[in-house]
């Protein structure tokens, strides 16, 4: 009898240890997630925008003429290491925008950061022609896939807030149409990238340029456009050939006119 009682006690003790271990693991995972979201700003360059700063800049840019469909937008910012530090949207609530554009905005931010250098900025729009079949960067958009665990984790109610679940994760992804830019601080340091999505690609470019301008993180050192910045280039011919090698399709005459005027109307920092 004593042996049976001892055996039962051993089993109960083992179960208790397993239960405590599982609980500790659950608490640790929950804690890690909340700590990541809460401290991601503190671990990033303080010159990068907060959620509120990003949202205010995006709302300003979205409410200017952009040559698109006048749709609500998503925006995301990554730091130099590719970690998401802020996500925001325009509109009354999440879902007033294209839902797929949340992840695309982060993908564009990653692109602007990943394919720009301290001496040369390339917007996502500048990569379009080279990434097409026969182009020098064909297949580029397949080279760094989005991390789905970062992209789709967490609660829908937190999407686009200061606690967006993407924050703290490295999103990855490459996008080769308009809307992604590198972020340069006033001393010329490349500190990350910004991406916007939610409208036609040319309108996304216009909105992204204006959002970056509003954040005062557009001290672009050089670029491939005629104005020596990372503006979109419309030089594709009838055969989709780009003489510059950095061309992008036109979306509308209005969007093209607005894009061409960006260096004058919203000049890069100096």
Q: In this structure, is the dihedral angle defined by the CA atoms of residues 75, 76, 77 and 78, taken in order, positive or negative?
A: negative
CA distance 176 to 69: 20
The answer to whether 86 and 167 are in contact (CB under 8 A) is: yes
Q: In this structure, is the dihedral angle defined by the CA atoms of residues 212, 105, 41 and 163, taken in order, positive or negative?
A: positive
Q: What is the pLDDT along the chain (270 residues), one digit of tens a residue?
A: 444 334 444 443 444 333 434 333 433 343 344 434 444 444 469 999 999 999 999 999 999 999 999 999 999 999 999 999 999 999 999 999 999 999 999 999 999 999 999 999 999 999 999 999 988 899 888 888 999 999 999 999 999 999 999 999 999 999 999 999 999 999 999 999 999 999 999 999 999 999 999 999 999 999 999 999 999 999 999 988 999 999 999 999 999 999 999 999 999 997
The domains of the chain are located at 1-39, 45-265
**How large is the angle between the packed helices 201-215 and 51-62, nearest 10 degrees?**
130
Predicted local distance difference test score (pLDDT) of residue 84: 98
Both structure tokens of 196: 């916007």
The answer to whether 76 and 166 are in contact (CB under 8 A) is: yes
Closest to 72 (Cα-Cα) out of 204, 202, 183, 182: 204
Closest to 127 (Cα-Cα) out of 245, 237, 212: 245
Spell out the alpha helix ranges (H) of the chain: 2-39, 51-62, 101-114, 148-152, 201-215, 253-265
CATH topology of domain 45-265: Beta-Lactamase (3.30.450)
CA angle (228, 233, 239) in 5-degree steps: 140
Predicted local distance difference test score (pLDDT) of residue 142: 86
Q: What is the pTM of this model?
A: 0.85
CA distance 109 to 225: 19
CA distance 258 to 252: 10
Number of neighbours of residue 63 by Cβ within 10 angstroms: 12
């Amino acid at each position: 009898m004593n042996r049976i009682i001892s055996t039962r006690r051993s089993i109960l003790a083992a179960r208790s240890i397993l239960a405590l271990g599982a609980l500790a693991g659950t608490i640790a995972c929950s804690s890690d997630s909340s700590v990541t979201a809460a401290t991601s700003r503190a671990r990033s360059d303080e010159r990068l925008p907060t959620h509120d700063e990003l949202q205010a800049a995006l709302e300003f840019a979205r409410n200017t003429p952009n040559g698109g469909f006048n749709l609500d937008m998503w925006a995301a910012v990554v730091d130099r290491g590719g970690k998401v530090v802020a996500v925001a949207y325009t509109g009354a609530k999440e879902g007033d925008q294209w839902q797929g554009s949340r992840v695309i905005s982060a993908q564009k931010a990653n692109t602007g950061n990943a394919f720009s250098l301290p001496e040369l900025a390339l917007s996502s729009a500048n990569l379009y022609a080279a990434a097409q079949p026969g182009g020098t960067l064909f297949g580029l958009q397949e080279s760094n896939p989005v991390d789905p665990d970062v992209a789709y984790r967490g609660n829908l109610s937190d999407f686009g807030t200061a606690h967006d679940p993407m924050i703290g994760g490295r999103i990855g992804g490459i996008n080769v149409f308009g809307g992604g830019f590198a972020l340069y601080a006033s001393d010329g340091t490349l500190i990350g990238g910004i991406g916007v999505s939610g409208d036609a690609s040319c309108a996304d470019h216009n909105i992204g340029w204006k959002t970056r301008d509003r954040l005062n993180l557009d001290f672009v050192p050089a670029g491939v456009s005629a104005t020596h910045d990372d503006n979109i280039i419309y030089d594709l011919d009838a055969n989709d050939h780009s003489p510059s090698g950095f061309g992008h399709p036109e979306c509308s005459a209005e969007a093209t006119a607005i894009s061409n005027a960006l260096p004058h109307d919203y000049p890069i920092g100096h």
